[in-house]
């Protein structure tokens, strides 16, 4: 009888541990086990690139992956170097640079009195840009961070949303900022201050929706023309129609969540805006 009690207790404890460790993080475990090849890709370089010499070794081994551009770096007393350019002529996919452009546009609008940093933003306004299953933990933690800095759980200062966009690389916050400053203001800022061949930043939620709609989540050869058509439509609706929601738009595609492998996502990023350093 004791052995059965022991087995019952053991099974109960095992079930609790499984629920706490695996059950609550099932999507993470699923991602790891279904993308082992992608996670292993380039892993041999991780520890080596902690040092500057290791980073140089990586650049030497993979010159096609890296561009470096440093210009007019100097202190008040000692001029270190004037220019350092490597692979600067290559066009690269634009990621975080888009957030920097949004940040600069926002600052420009506030300085010129066209926008108030104290404008209140509802949590609903941010949530409508969230694409289900895309970085859900980061999204939840970003909303919690906003709530911790606000007296309200449902409204936040625009300036705080911008800070979360920068500090957390939170894509729904970036899309919210994009919708508030407006596409025209971003374009005017880039025309006046951005030099080089740099595309307009992407609306992240429109990007992920267009990837699904153009078939790039089911195979690696989704149509680029289809992607652009869908992206333009989703971007227009998300930026101009305050009632549009990424969740509803995703369900309209007969999909409940944006889910694809690392390799599919890596391939999809080729559709993002481009920039030449």
Q: 205-215, pLDDT tens digit by residue?
A: 999 998 888 87
Residue 28 domain-assigned?
no
Q: Please provide the average confidence, as pLDDT, over all residues in the chain.
A: 82
pLDDT at 51 over 50: yes
Position 65 in a domain: no
Query: Is residue 87 assigned to a domain?
Result: no
pLDDT tens profile 115-134: 999 999 999 999 999 998 88
Residue 216 covered by a domain: yes
pLDDT tens for each residue of 130-182: 998 888 899 999 999 999 999 889 999 999 999 999 999 999 999 999 999 99
Confidence of residue 44 (pLDDT cuts 50, 70, 90): confident
Q: Which residues neighbour 209 within 8 Å (Cβ) at sequence distance 6 or greater?
A: 131, 230, 231, 234, 246, 249, 250, 253, 258
Identify whether 110 is part of a domain. yes
For residue 49, being part of any structural domain is answered with no
Q: Residue 221 is part of which domain span?
A: 94-275
Contacts of 90 (CB under 8 A, 6+ apart): 67, 276, 277
pLDDT band of residue 77 (cuts 50, 70, 90) is very low
* Overall domain count for the chain: 1
Question: In whole angstroms, what is the distance from residue 226 CA to residue 242 CA?
Answer: 25
Residue 213 covered by a domain: yes
Q: Which helix (H) or strand (E) holds 275?
A: strand 274-275
Residue 108 has pLDDT above 80, yes or no: yes
**Tens-digit pLDDT profile for residues 219-237:** 555 566 788 889 999 999 9
What global pTM score does this model have? Answer: 0.77
Output 186 or 224, whichever has higher pLDDT: 186
Residue 257 lies in a domain: yes
- CB-based contact 132:247 (threshold 8 Å): yes
Residues 230 and 210: their CA atoms lie apart, in Å, by: 5
Q: Find, among 146, 164, 167, 165, the residue nearest to 156 by Cα.
A: 146
């Amino acid at each position: 009888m004791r052995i059965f009690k022991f087995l019952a207790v053991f099974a109960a404890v095992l079930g609790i541990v499984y629920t706490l460790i695996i059950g609550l993080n099932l999507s993470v475990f699923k991602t790891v086990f279904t993308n082992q090849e992608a996670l292993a890709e380039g892993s041999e370089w991780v520890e080596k690139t902690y040092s500057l010499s290791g980073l140089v070794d990586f650049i030497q081994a993979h010159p096609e992956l890296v561009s470096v551009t440093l210009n007019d770096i100097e202190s008040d007393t000692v001029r270190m170097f004037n220019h350092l350019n490597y692979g600067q002529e290559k066009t690269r996919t634009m990621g975080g640079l888009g957030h920097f452009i949004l940040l600069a546009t926002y600052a420009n609008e506030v300085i010129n009195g066209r926008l108030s940093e104290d404008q209140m933003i509802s949590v609903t306004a941010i949530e409508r840009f969230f694409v289900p299953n895309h970085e859900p933990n980061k999204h939840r933690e970003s909303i919690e961070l906003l709530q911790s800095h606000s007296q309200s759980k449902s409204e936040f200062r625009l300036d705080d949303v911008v800070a979360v966009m920068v500090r957390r690389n939170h894509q729904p916050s970036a899309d919210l900022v994009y919708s508030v400053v407006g596409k025209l203001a971003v374009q005017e800022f880039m025309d006046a201050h951005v030099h080089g061949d740099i595309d307009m930043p992407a609306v992240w939620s429109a990007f992920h929706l267009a990837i699904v709609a153009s078939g790039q989540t089911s195979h690696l050869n989704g149509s680029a023309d289809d992607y652009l058509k869908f992206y333009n439509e989703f971007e227009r609706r998300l930026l101009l129609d305050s009632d549009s929601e990424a969740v509803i738009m995703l369900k309209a595609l007969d999909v409940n969540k944006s889910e694809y492998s690392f390799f599919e996502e890596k391939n999809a990023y080729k559709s993002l805006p481009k920039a030449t350093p």
